[in-house]
């Protein structure tokens, strides 16, 4: 998330309940079903890269499971403004649209490795960003009493590298399992949801000591762009 791991307060009302855990279960079931579908129905020569991509996504989800379950018990603040639900629903919708659209056709071509690489790189960037934030990271918008700005690892270059990684991974997913619905959701729902969540976090984080100076020297998602 943000260099402060989110925004808000520890003692705010828990309006979003167990949304992160529900999203985790729904996403895992969708991925497992898609993997079974690929192994059963995809053309033989593209079955390998398709199954590899879904398996990598499942590993990524598994590595964030502890955070998702921990986050489900954390309170959200009034400053969240529904960004958690919007962002999570847009991610899940994009995922399902990509995985349950038409299966990729053969023959296998070298370009099919590019989406696998994009998803791997995006997930790795996100996990590195989470690790850099340590205990300050949460899927839920909040701060803690001794919150401080993190400027190590990917945060040396960007304000929100975890979101950069998230988007990069889904560009890879949608590119491989390409269909009009998934592209429309990625560009028309998921990307705007990420931008909205970033704006929401930054509004709250403006009050954290050192954040304005941190933000002044870094772009949000893409170096030299935005």
37 in any annotated domain: yes
Confidence of residue 149 (pLDDT cuts 50, 70, 90): confident
Tell me how far CA of residue 171 lies from CA of 71, 190, 217, in angstroms: 26, 11, 27
Residue 206, domain extent: 19-216
In the chain, the number of structural domains is: 1
- Enter the pTM of the model: 0.87
CA separation for the pair 211, 203 (Å, rounded): 11
Q: Considering the domain boundaries, does residue 221 fall inside one?
A: no
CA atoms within 13 A on the CB side of 14: 11
* DSSP summary character for residue 105: P
CA atoms within 13 A on the CB side of 24: 19
Kindly report the average pLDDT of the chain as a whole number.
85
Asked if the structure places residue 1 within a domain, the reply is no
Examine residue 14 and state whether it is found in any structural domain, yes or no: no
Can you tell me the distance from the alpha carbon of 45 to that of 63, in angstroms, rounded to the nearest whole number?
A: 29
What is residue 224's predicted lDDT score, i.e. its pLDDT? 87
State phi, psi for 217 to the nearest 5 degrees. -100, 5
The verdict on residue 147 lying in a domain is: yes
pLDDT digits (tens, 9 = 90+) for 184-204: 999 999 999 999 999 988 887
- The strand ranges marked E within 7-129 are none
Beta bridge partners of 158: 219
For 41-47, what is the mean pLDDT? 92
Is the pLDDT at 13 greater than 70? The verdict is no
Greater model confidence, 108 or 48: 48
- Could you tell me how far CA 53 lies from the centroid of its own chain? 16
CATH of the domain at 150: 1.20.120.1630
pLDDT at 3 over 70: no
* Gap between the Cα atoms of 52 and 184, Å rounded: 24
Return the pLDDT at 210.
81
């Amino acid at each position: 998330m943000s260099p402060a791991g989110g925004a808000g307060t520890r003692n705010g009302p828990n309006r979003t309940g167990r949304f992160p855990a529900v999203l985790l279960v729904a996403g895992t079931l969708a991925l497992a079903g898609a993997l079974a579908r690929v192994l059963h129905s995809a053309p033989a020569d593209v079955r390998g890269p398709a199954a590899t991509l879904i398996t990598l996504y499942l590993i990524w989800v598994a590595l964030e499971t502890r955070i998702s379950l921990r986050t489900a018990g954390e309170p959200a603040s009034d400053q969240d403004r529904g960004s958690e639900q919007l962002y999570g629903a847009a991610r899940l919708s994009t995922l399902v649209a990509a995985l349950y659209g038409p299966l990729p056709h053969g023959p296998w071509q070298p370009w099919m490795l590019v989406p696998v690489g994009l998803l791997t790189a995006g997930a790795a960037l996100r996990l590195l960003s989470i690790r850099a934030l340590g205990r300050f990271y949460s899927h839920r918008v909040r701060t803690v009493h001794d919150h401080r700005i993190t400027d190590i690892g990917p945060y040396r270059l960007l304000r929100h590298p975890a979101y950069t990684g998230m988007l990069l991974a889904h560009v890879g997913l949608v590119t491989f399992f390409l269909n009009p619905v998934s592209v429309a959701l990625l560009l028309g729902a998921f990307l705007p949801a990420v931008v909205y969540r970033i704006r929401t976090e930054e509004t709250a984080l403006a009050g954290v000591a050192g954040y304005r100076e941190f933000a002044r020297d870094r772009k949000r998602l893409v170096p030299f762009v935005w």
